[in-house]
Amino acid sequence: MNAKYEAVIGLEVHSQIKTDTKVFCNCSTDFHSQPNTNICPVCTGQPGVLPVLNKKAVELLVRTGLALECRINKKSVFARKQYFYPDLPKNYQISQYDLPFAEHGKLNISVDGGVKTIGITRIHLEEDAGKLVHDIGMKKLDYSLADYNRTGIPLMEIVSEPDMRTPQDAAAYLTALKSLIEYLETSDCNMEEGKFRCDANVSIRPVGQKEFGTKAELKNMNTISGVEEALVYEIQRQIEVVENGGKIVQETRTWDPDEKVTKSMRSKENAHDYRYFPDPDLVPVILDDDFINKIKKDIPELPEKRKQRLISECGLSQYDANVIISDKALADYYETALETASKQSDNSGKQIANWITTELLGKLNSAKLTIKESPVKAENLGTLVALIIKGTISGKIAKMVFEDMFNDGKDPDTVVKEKGLVQISDEGAIVAICKEAVAESPKIVEEYKAGKERAIGAIVGLVMKKSKGKANPQMVNKILIDLLKQ
Q: Which residues bind other proteins (CB under 8 A)?
A: 19-21, 26-28, 34-41, 44-58, 77, 80, 82-86, 89-92, 132-134, 141-148, 265-266, 271-273, 275-286
User: Would you say 87 and 146 are in contact if contact means Cβ atoms under 8 Å apart?
Assistant: yes
Q: 125 by DSSP, 3-state: which?
A: strand
Q: How far is the CB of 83 from other proteins (least distance, A)?
A: 6
* β-pair type (251-256, 216-221): parallel
Residue (13 or 57) nearer to other proteins, CB = 57
Residue (54 or 374) nearer to other proteins, CB = 54
User: Would you say 236 and 202 are in contact if contact means Cβ atoms under 8 Å apart?
Assistant: no
Q: How far is the CB of 22 from other proteins (least distance, A)?
A: 10
Residue (63 or 80) nearer to other proteins, CB = 80
Q: How far is the CB of 266 from other proteins (least distance, A)?
A: 5
Amino acid 29 reads: T
Picking from 379, 372, 334, 340, the residue whose alpha carbon sits closest to that of residue 356 is: 334
Residue (6 or 147) nearer to other proteins, CB = 147
Report the half-sphere exposure of 437 (CA within 13 A, side-chain side).
27
Residue (256 or 403) nearer to other proteins, CB = 256
Q: How far is the CB of 300 from other proteins (least distance, A)?
A: 19
Q: 264 by DSSP, 3-state: which?
A: strand
Q: How far is the CB of 89 from other proteins (least distance, A)?
A: 6
- The 79-82 sheet, strands edge to edge: 92-95, 79-82, 277-278
Residue (80 or 124) nearer to other proteins, CB = 80
Residue (86 or 362) nearer to other proteins, CB = 86
Beta bridge mates, 15: 156, 196
Q: How far is the CB of 388 from other proteins (least distance, A)?
A: 45
- The long-range contacts involving 282-286, CB below 8 angstroms and separated by at least 24 positions, are 282/51, 282/53, 282/78, 282/94, 284/75, 284/76, 284/77, 284/99, 285/53, 285/58, 285/75, 285/76, 285/77, 285/101, 286/74, 286/75
Q: How far is the CB of 120 from other proteins (least distance, A)?
A: 24
